[in-house]
Structure 1
Amino acid sequence: MENQRGPADQQLLDLLDEQLTEFTSGAAVVLGDRASCSVMLRLDGGVRRSASSDPLAAACDEVELAVDEGPCLDALETGLVMLVDDLDTEDRWPAWTRTARAAGFRSSGGFPVHLRSEAAVAVNVYRPGPGPWDRDSLVRADVYAQQLGRVVDLCLDLREANGQRHALEDALAAQASIDQAVGAIMATKHCDASAAFAMLIAAARDGRSDLSDVAVQILEALVERRPGGEL
């Protein structure tokens, strides 16, 4: 599913697509009225269709993205529910409306999803029959949308946890390089750890480089230097 408006981590997008596709596969049972649904996601500056319960719903949302107007996009941007009681009389989003009618839908609703993260999600619910949304249908669709939001939050939590893990691994690797460089300086300059660390700091300051980068350079020089030479 193509990213329409910007880059995002591909592994995360694949995870979201997989989980949301599985979630939406049961839309007709959960929502009733032989309903279909499609999910739009805004993440890292990009808006995309992430999942759909069937090809007809997917086609409608793809048109909505292509013309940049429709109930799901409006729900995504405003945080408000966008209801269409009868597609035969709907005139707010002409291209999307024509596509939805041609697909056999007669009413729909765009439902925003409340998330804990910086992402935004909305769900388009399509129904084959016209008529106003009664209270039971609205509650069922909204609960469905918010349950879907929990799936998105869990996926985003996983990305954050992985990011923290990678940051910790990078920090530990940098510290290991610094410790090894201090040891190398002690061995070649015949000084104690405090003096060696001071030399490392001075080299980083003079070169306007990170301490860990200078440490790596020193270790590389140690490997490459000739026997009996100095760093």
Structure 2
Amino acid sequence: MELPELITVMDRVALSLRYPMDVEETLQGITAAVVVATSGVDHASISVTSSDGKIQTLAPTDDVAVRCDELQYELGEGPCLEAVLEEHVVQVDDVSSDLRWPMYGPRAAGELGIGSQLAFQFAAEPHVRGGFNLYSEQPHSIGIEDRQLAMLFANLAAAALGWSRQDDTLNKALETRNGIGQAVGIVMERYQLDPERAFAFLVRTSQAGNIKLHDVAAGVVADVVAKAR
């Protein structure tokens, strides 16, 4: 997805978070948008726990996402549960061969056609944890760019589920997106690149220097501001 299209998607989701909002509709828009915005993600859903410990799926993009979630609930293992209950970020590059989930992995690959998976944990209302679940039909297909973009959508989902506790997270997510957009514009002008190549330049710089994408963008913007003084 080219940057202008990405910004349009993000703006549409951000607008849906304004009061008054329909939480169910907003969450559905977020999961649908992350599939559109990321090249490596084919299915998405949100898992949430309640105060009694039960886990349920919200806003699945399709039946595959539902079946993947429910298989993990049934077996009591999988990246989705790991994210909800333990780790903040869980990434699986090859579901079929990952030894962490010996029951879930082979069935997810063989029965549901899942190759790789990514899950983010977030906290919403008190005593409630959630997981933002992303599924790919190909192994090793969720790269660093997809992961960074997906994290923004996970933050938006957290904001929708617990606005009063998460609006700072939302603001940071939107500030990150705007900062990346500014940096892309600067790189386009400086190196005479189109938006897609300018964004790819930032991603490569991030990977080469092992620096977060938003930090690379912030450095580009800061450099221009410093030179303008």
TM-score higher than 0.5: yes
Equivalent residue in structure 2 for 1:33, among 37, 40, 45: 40
Counterpart residue number, 2:139: 130
When normalised by structure 2's length, the TM-score is 0.55
Question: Could you say if the C-alpha distance between residues 69 and 16 of structure 1 is closer, same or farther in structure 2, counting changes exceeding 3 Å?
Answer: farther
Question: Could you say if the C-alpha distance between residues 47 and 125 of structure 1 is closer, same or farther in structure 2, counting changes exceeding 3 Å?
Answer: same
Aligned sequence identity (%): 23
CA RMSD of aligned residues (A): 2.5
Equivalent residue in structure 2 for 1:151, among 147, 156, 160: 160
The answer to whether 1:85 aligns with 2:93 is yes
Equivalent residues of 1:21, 1:53 under 8 A apart: yes
Structure 1: how far apart are the matches of 2:137 and 2:89? Answer: 19
Structure 1: how far apart are the matches of 2:40 and 2:141? Answer: 13
**Aligned ranges for residues 66-145 of structure 1 at < 5 Å?**
66-101=74-109, 102-115=111-124, 117-131=126-140, 133-145=142-154
Q: Residue 117 of structure 2 aligns to a residue in which SS? A: strand
Q: Residue 25 of structure 1 aligns to a residue in which SS? A: helix
**Aligned ranges for residues 1-231 of structure 1 at < 5 Å?**
17-45=24-52, 46-101=54-109, 102-115=111-124, 117-131=126-140, 133-154=142-163
Measure how far apart 1:100 and its partner are: 2.1
Structure 1: how far apart are the matches of 2:165 and 2:24? Answer: 12
Structure 2: how far apart are the matches of 1:32 and 1:58? Answer: 21
Q: Deviations over 1:90-140 (max 9, x none)?
A: 122233223321222211112112436431110121112211643212211
Segments of structure 1 that go 5 or more residues without pairing to the other structure are 1-14, 158-231
Answer with 1 or 2: which has the greater Rg.
Answer: 1
Letter in 2 for 1:105: I
Measure how far apart 1:142 and its partner are: 1.3
Measure how far apart 1:40 and its partner are: 0.6
Segments of structure 2 that go 5 or more residues without pairing to the other structure are 1-21, 167-229
Letter in 2 for 1:139: Q
Counterpart residue number, 1:169: none
Measure how far apart 1:26 and its partner are: 2.7
Question: Could you say if the C-alpha distance between residues 28 and 122 of structure 1 is closer, same or farther in structure 2, counting changes exceeding 3 Å?
Answer: same
When normalised by structure 1's length, the TM-score is 0.55
Structure 1: how far apart are the matches of 2:117 and 2:146? Answer: 11
Measure how far apart 1:150 and its partner are: 0.8
Equivalent residues of 2:44, 2:60 under 8 A apart: yes
Letter in 2 for 1:23: I
Structure 1: how far apart are the matches of 2:29 and 2:130? Answer: 16
Equivalent residues of 1:109, 1:125 under 8 A apart: yes
Equivalent residues of 2:47, 2:58 under 8 A apart: yes
